Structure 1
């Protein structure tokens, strides 16, 4: 069955699902936070040399990025033409800097030279049939399984026919653990397809470790590898499945996975979900957004987002903090004036 894409250009973020029939095979969220995007070209300024001839920090607009390797003869304060090859990666307690590489070409002054492709452009470039949805009418994303997919990415728990995947991002790699009550060989073989599907669905890239059940039969371990080879998005490299059931996969990395993004930004994720709910709220009257204080503080600091919600729904937006609410437990009500 041919794949199709649903795209929703929301307030503060763009959301998308890729579907194979009625099955969600990919889920994407791209934030409109002004950060460096993979494929951007910049005339950046070298702010600091970290290791001479090896790496340094550049300023691309207001954002810092890691330049590696350093072009010969480049000195601190000089301009250099760079391409963003990996976006910043949110991690617990810190943000791993975006990574850039020097590119040949003219420089007329500091600043952005060109934009890298956004989520919409990347999906169109794959020549998928694309449907762009809006905040009005039927909620096509929700009907296709948006909330369930985000819940799985947020918790890291993804059920499959014979068990459960637990997906855990770490600074070194994303680890996928497998649990289930089936016979070890059955569990391991069914988990191979499930893990590959999760890697694609949540756009997990970089270094990935899958901890399969220990299977003594080398032929079964070989079959696990063959299933991964057939199902994983290319390109990738992997090790053999060792005697303890562990396999390491490396996929090219340009941005954070959906799991990493949602895990590292719970307040922003909750706030943006409320803006989506506010856009879809029905009835005449003010939109009252009630949420935990950190969520309200996040929205208050970004007045442009609530102003956009007012523009889209044609109503005034009021923010109301409730310390009794959990981060993700906010809600939107329509209150007649």
Structure 2
């Protein structure tokens, strides 16, 4: 099993798998989200053709049904897709009925304290978060622009190199970004249009060699489009970043927890301050960690990611 580093923060827990000093795979689990692999016991309910369970006020759909269990019967189920925040809040998490313990636990690794600089920082955690907030990933001969949509995550390739070299390099970079940013479900990559079948096959081969199984893909068509489908168990970092004010509020708390001690005033955009005002428990946790009272000040001229701390 690969070793993951785990950092339990304020409002979220961060997971990263590091190889040769670089984050190669990562995810963020928000507080209150029941992680994929967790097992639940609840009574089966039916609404029309849909079967679901309700646990702690959260409904879990059972798309594969519950053979042999009557409406109202108790079942044991495993979460297979977490609640996904973002553009479609009505989408419910998914579960499947299990007969015996089969939990698929979260990455198990070395747990890191929140309040000291650690291997996540050295491996480029802040750069990863910047990729999530901008959707832009640079590579040697160009860049990827990544757009999460309700239907799929779209990756656009841009660059000035020879088209075949650009496309093959972009394929490797796209595989790296998919793992680093936790992108799953349906993924569409728009490569430069390549004329020859051999060049298109070379790009597809790069996907096969650089993306971890399980996944399925199409061939690269004559218009430069290739589709990948990966099992979707949780939100990508890009999807989490779509709730921009909350995303930046948690990122600000992480910076302050590591860098400051004593009474501190958090200065941030009004939308970020509004999130923090609603999360008084987050501010109380930060106050305990830095050893001083935490207050807030709005500054409308700051960029949304530009919050900082000052002596309180």
Whole-angstrom distance in 2 between the partners of 1:5 and 1:293: 35
- Tell me the equivalent position of 1:217: 196
Q: Does 1:193 align with 2:181?
A: no
Measure, in 2, the Cα distance between the counterparts of 1:73 and 1:210.
42
Query: Secondary structure, in 3 states, of the residue corresponding to 1:271?
Result: helix
Q: Is the 8 A contact 1:6 1:133 kept in 2?
A: no
Q: 1:56 aligned to 51, 55, 76, which one?
A: 51
- Contact between 1:36 and 1:63, CA under 8 Å: does it hold in 2? no
What pairs up with 1:22-37 in 2 under 5 angstroms? 22-32=21-31, 34-37=32-35
3-state DSSP of counterpart to 1:186: helix
Q: Does 1:66 align with 2:45?
A: no
Partners of 2:114 and 2:258 within 8 A in 1: no
Q: 1:294 to 1:50 in 2, by over 3 A?
A: farther
1:151-208 deviations in Å (ceiling 9; x for gaps): 1121111111111111111111111111111111111111111111111111111111
Shift in Å, 1:94: 2.5
What whole-Å deviation, never above 9, does each CA across 1:236-281 have from its counterpart, x for those lacking one?
A: 1111111112111111111111111112x21211111222122123
CA distance in 2 between counterparts of 1:36 and 1:4 reads: 22
- For the residue of structure 1 that corresponds to 2:306, the secondary structure is coil
Between the aligned partners of 1:16 and 1:43, the Cα distance in structure 2 is 27
Aligned residues: 311
1:9 matches 2:4: no
Correspondence for 1:273 among 251, 260, 273: 251
Measure, in 2, the Cα distance between the counterparts of 1:168 and 1:208: 10
2:267 alignment partner, one of 261, 274, 290: 290
Q: 2:115 matched to 1:135? A: yes
> Which one of the candidate residues 225, 233, 242 is aligned to 2:221?
242
In structure 2, relative to structure 1, the CA distance for the partners of 1:280 and 1:72 (3 Å cut) is closer
1:83 aligns with 2:45: no
Structure 2 residue 279 is matched with structure 1 residue 302:
yes
**TM-score for both structures, normalised by structure 1:** 0.84
Give the 3 Å change call, closer, same or farther, for CA 191–90 of structure 1 in structure 2: same
| Structure 2 unaligned regions, length at least 5 | none
- Helix, strand or coil at the partner of 1:256: coil
1:117 is aligned to 105
Tell me by how many angstroms 1:294 deviates: 3.0
Question: What's the CA shift string for 1:89-127, capped at 9, x where partnerless?
Answer: 12226352101112236xxxxxxx998633xxx143xxx
What is the rounded CA distance, in whole Å, between the counterparts of 2:114 and 2:204 in structure 1? 41
Pairing 1:152–2:131 present: yes
Q: Report the CA distance between 1:47 and its aligned residue.
A: 4.5
* Structure 2 CA distance for aligned equivalents of residues 123 and 104 of structure 1: 24
Give the match for residue 21 of structure 1: 20
Task: Decide whether aligned partners of structure 1 residues 27 and 314 sit closer, same or farther in structure 2, where only a CA change above 3 A counts.
Answer: same
Q: Which residue of 2 aligns with 1:127?
A: none
Counterpart residue number, 1:332: 309
Q: 1:297 to 1:220 in 2, by over 3 A?
A: same
Give 1:109's aligned residue: none
Paired with 1:309 and 1:115, the residues of 2 have a C-alpha distance of 32
Instruction: Give the Cα separation in 1 of the matches to 2:27 and 2:206.
Output: 25
1:310 Cα shift?
1.6
Deviation at 1:147, TM superposition (A): 1.5
* Ranges in structure 1 where 5+ consecutive residues have no aligned partner: 106-112, 125-129
CA contact (8 A) 1:133 1:140 kept: no
**Which residue of 1 is the match for residue 289 of structure 2?**
312
SS in 1 for 2:292: coil
